[in-house]
């Protein structure tokens, strides 16, 4: 059986940039375009030439892509010819082989937003598309509000779509611009559009996520016969976002009936870079990747429930809908108060500790974890602290050094210029190899600004640890998270610290206390101990 070709159209650089708070620079646009091209999408929409300086710059030095690099714009305005519309001219001047023009298909919008007659609008569509074709460009027509338009006046919406198709548009893209259409309606209206004479091989679908159905609506249109699907990486886009290509691509490639009926331009090998592409975009946007993201999120294959975790150990297909490696992701079995002993043994094995099933320390460790989680600890996100806890219970944790005491002072007072300034100072006293060592540090960073008591404490702790100093020197605190696990006046604070060493190894530790400085200190201590455990050569 021959498979139908399904085309993937990416609009991360145009509709994705409509996300509140997102503004790509020109170099970032190049970086994203290169990632999309390596992934193998068919079209990359680069922006709207002339609409703003960044988009214009980007088209001026357009990337060379295997994908069809596409300019976005709008149909000509009424009262002038396509040749004489300056907005359209800027779009044409970008010189891309393919051009996508948005136009109205909903009678209400033609009359309310544009204030022109229905006939004028239809003629604007026809003439604009004809102009693109006459100039030798591949023409796409973005039928704005098509589904709402069809619900209000099906004849007019279809007449607009057909005007574009008959003028030579390669694709008529049905847009659910306001994002309010539900999947079964998308299916029916797409089917009706095909029945009205526009073949599915010329129909695209463009949805928004306002009812959390952007992916489902895209699939519904494909079910009805549409053969181009538009979306963005990580579901960026105006308001709640566009259809998420990071989800749609693996669904279309790995799941039935799509996998056996359709083919995309994306290879199985390229698909293995999907998680990486998603994380790269978050890096560019300086966002924390969404853990729960389908397929690519850090939690997408994390099995927290005890029943699930124990079955996964027997056979991963029991609780996984696909093999995470196919999208470049990985399975995670977190420690949690729901996990059982088999999960615990697996986690210990990952930390290099083979423990027999009948080892009496196992139930003790599990109890200790449950007790601590009830206090506010979380070992899901602090694997290094988990390992230290388990090693102590198993008698496999050396004492590298002993903390005798610490003291931190936080002071705010007026300086000689009558400005309020803050300063923290920490003293830590440790005993290493029988020798007592006092260290003191203050909280100022390079530019003289105060970084607070935890900073001072962390520097004092790491200042003199005797023969371990070289190892400790390379540990960098890379992230610091605080949350109050119990509100109100009895507030308990949980601190999670991410550390990194010279080899790029990263690990997380946790501390919990009603005293935030104490909680931080405990997490710092675990971070240092874990490093010594790995690299001191004493274990």
Decide if 335 contacts 303 (C-beta within 8 A).
Answer: no
Binding mask of the shown chain, residues 19 to 38, with x at each position contacting its own copies by CB under 8 A: xxx-x-x-xx----------
- What is the distance between the alpha carbons of residues 275 and 297, in angstroms, rounded to a whole number? 8
Site for its own copies in 419-458 (CB under 8 A): 420, 422, 424, 443, 449-455
Nearer to its own copies, 54 or 536 (CB): 54
Contact 73, 87 (CB under 8 A): yes
Crossing angle for the helix pair 383-393 and 516-535, nearest 10 degrees?
70
**Beta carbon of residue 295, minimum distance to its own copies (angstroms, whole number):** 8
Give the footprint of its own copies on residues 92-111 (CB under 8 A).
108-109
> Residue 151: is it exposed, middle or buried by C-beta count within 10 angstroms (0-12/13-18/19+)?
middle
Q: Whole-angstrom Cα distance, residue 441 to residue 513? A: 23
337 CB neighbour count, 10 Å cutoff: 17
Site string for its own copies, 211-230 (x = CB under 8 A): xxxxxx--xx--x-------
d(CA 253, CA 264): 8
Residue 134 Cβ vs its own copies, minimum distance, rounded to whole Å: 25
Q: Is 320 in the site for its own copies (CB under 8 A)?
A: yes
Residue 51 touching its own copies (CB under 8 A): yes
Question: What residues numbered 386-425 form the site for its own copies, per CB under 8 A?
Answer: 403-414, 420, 422, 424
Question: CA angle 435-387-470, nearest 5°?
Answer: 40
In whole angstroms, give the CA distance from residue 325 to residue 292: 17
Of the two residues 395 and 488, which places its CB atom closer to its own copies in the complex? 488
Chain residues 474-493 in contact with its own copies, contact rule CB under 8 A: 476-489, 491, 493
**Given candidates 89, 152, 182, 355, which one binds its own copies under the rule CB under 8 A?**
182
Q: Which stretch binds its own copies (CB under 8 A): 62-70, 81-89, 302-310, 348-356?
A: 302-310
Residue 261, interface with its own copies (CB under 8 A)? no
Q: Tell me how far apart the alpha carbons of residues 381 and 510 are, in angstroms, rounded to a whole number.
A: 8
Chain mean position to CA 310: 29
- Of 84-92, 125-133, 163-171, 236-244, the segment contacting its own copies by CB under 8 A is 236-244
- In the chain, % helix, strand, coil (3-state, to 5) comes to 45, 20, 35
DSSP state string for 444-461: B-TTS-B--HHHHHHHHH
Residue 290 interacts with its own copies (CB under 8 A): yes or no: yes
Q: Which stretch binds its own copies (CB under 8 A): 165-173, 196-204, 233-241, 349-357?
A: 233-241
Sequence-distant contacts of 75-78: CB under 8 A, at least 24 apart: 75/101, 75/102, 75/103, 75/124, 75/125, 75/128, 75/129, 76/124, 76/127, 76/128, 76/131, 77/124, 78/114, 78/116, 78/120, 78/121, 78/124
Of 95, 265, 289, 294, which one interacts with its own copies (CB under 8 A)?
Answer: 294
Residue 293 touching its own copies (CB under 8 A): yes
Indicate which single residue of 72, 301, 401, 468 sits in contact with its own copies (rule: CB under 8 A). Answer: 301
Determine the interface stretch with its own copies among 123-131, 160-168, 247-255, 265-273 (rule: CB under 8 A). Answer: 247-255
**Rule CB under 8 A: is residue 189 a binding residue for its own copies?**
no
Q: Is 53 in the site for its own copies (CB under 8 A)?
A: yes
Measured from the CB atom, the residue of 301 and 386 that comes closer to its own copies is 301
Verify binding: residue 133, its own copies, rule CB under 8 A: no
**Is the Cβ of residue 260 or residue 449 nearer to its own copies in the bound state?**
449
d(CA 305, CA 316): 14
Nearer to its own copies, 170 or 242 (CB): 242
**Which of 193/513 has CB closer to its own copies?**
513
The DSSP H or E segment spanning 188 is helix 183-195
The verdict on 325 binding its own copies (CB under 8 A) reads no
> Can you tell me the distance from the alpha carbon of 523 to that of 389, in angstroms, rounded to the nearest whole number?
12
Q: How far is CA 274 from the centre of its chain?
A: 11
- Interface with its own copies: number of residues (CB under 8 A): 133
Q: Work out how close the CB of 286 gets to its own copies at its nearest, in angstroms, rounded to a whole number.
A: 4
Task: Kindly report the backbone phi and psi dihedral angles of residue 116, in degrees, each rounded to the nearest multiple of 5, phi listed first.
Answer: -125, 175
Of residues 7 and 301, the one with the C-beta less far from its own copies: 301
Smallest separation, CB 452 to its own copies (Å): 3
> Which residue in the block uniquely carries the two structure tokens 């601190």?
495
Smaller CB distance to its own copies: residue 168 or 294? 294
């Amino acid at each position: 059986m021959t498979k139908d070709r399904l085309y993937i159209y990416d609009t991360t650089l145009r509709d994705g940039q409509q996300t509140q708070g997102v503004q790509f620079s020109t170099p970032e646009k190049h970086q994203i375009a290169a990632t999309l091209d390596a992934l193998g999408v068919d079209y990359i929409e680069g922006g709207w030439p002339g609409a703003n300086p960044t988009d214009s710059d980007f088209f001026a030095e357009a990337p060379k892509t295997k994908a069809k690099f596409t300019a976005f714009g709008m149909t000509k305005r009424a009262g002038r010819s396509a040749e004489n519309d300056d907005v359209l001219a800027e779009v044409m001047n970008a010189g891309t082989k393919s051009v996508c023009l948005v136009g109205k298909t909903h009678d209400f919008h033609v009359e309310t937003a544009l204030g022109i007659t229905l006939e004028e609008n239809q003629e604007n569509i026809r003439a604009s598309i004809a102009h693109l074709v006459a100039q030798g460009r591949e023409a796409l027509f973005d039928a704005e509000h098509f589904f709402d338009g069809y619900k209000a006046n099906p004849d007019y919406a279809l007449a607009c779509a057909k005007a574009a198709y008959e003028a030579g548009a390669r694709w008529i893209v049905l847009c659910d611009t306001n994002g309010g259409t539900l999947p079964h309606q998308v299916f029916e209206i797409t089917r009706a559009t095909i029945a009205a004479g526009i073949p599915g091989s010329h129909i695209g679908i463009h949805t928004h996520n306002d009812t959390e159905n952007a992916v489902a609506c895209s699939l519904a249109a494909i079910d009805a016969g549409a053969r181009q699907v538009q979306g963005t990486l990580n579901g960026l886009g105006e308001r709640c976002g566009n259809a998420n290509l990071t989800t749609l691509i693996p669904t279309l490639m790995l799941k039935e009936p799509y996998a056996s009926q359709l083919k995309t331009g994306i290879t199985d090998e390229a698909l293995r870079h999907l998680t990486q592409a998603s994380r790269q975009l978050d890096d560019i946007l300086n966002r924390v990747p969404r853990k729960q993201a389908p397929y690519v999120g850090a939690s997408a294959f994390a099995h927290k429930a005890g029943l699930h975790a124990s079955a996964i150990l027997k056979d991963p297909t029991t609780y996984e809908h696909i093999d995470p490696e196919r999208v470049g992701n990985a399975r995670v079995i977190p420690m949690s108060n729901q996990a059982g002993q088999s999960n615990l043994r697996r986690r210990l094995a990952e930390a290099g500790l083979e423990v027999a099933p009948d080892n009496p320390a196992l139930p003790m460790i599990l109890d200790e974890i449950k007790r601590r989680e009830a206090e506010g600890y979380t070992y899901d996100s602090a694997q290094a602290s988990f390992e230290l806890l388990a090693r102590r219970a198993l008698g496999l944790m050396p004492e590298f050094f002993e903390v005798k005491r610490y003291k931190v002072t936080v002071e705010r007072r007026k300086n000689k210029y009558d400005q309020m300034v803050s300063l923290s100072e920490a003293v830590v006293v440790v005993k290493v190899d029988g020798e007592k060592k006092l260290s003191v540090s203050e909280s100022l960073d390079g530019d003289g600004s105060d970084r607070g008591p935890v900073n001072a404490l962390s520097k004092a702790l790491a200042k003199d640890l005797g023969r371990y100093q070289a190892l400790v020197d390379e540990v960098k605190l890379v992230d610091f998270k605080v949350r109050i696990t119990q509100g109100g006046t009895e507030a308990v604070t949980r601190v999670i610290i991410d550390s990194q060493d010279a080899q790029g190894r990263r690990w997380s530790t946790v501390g919990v206390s009603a005293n935030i400085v104490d909680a931080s200190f405990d997490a710092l201590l675990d971070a240092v101990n874990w490093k010594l455990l790995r690299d001191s050569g004493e274990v």
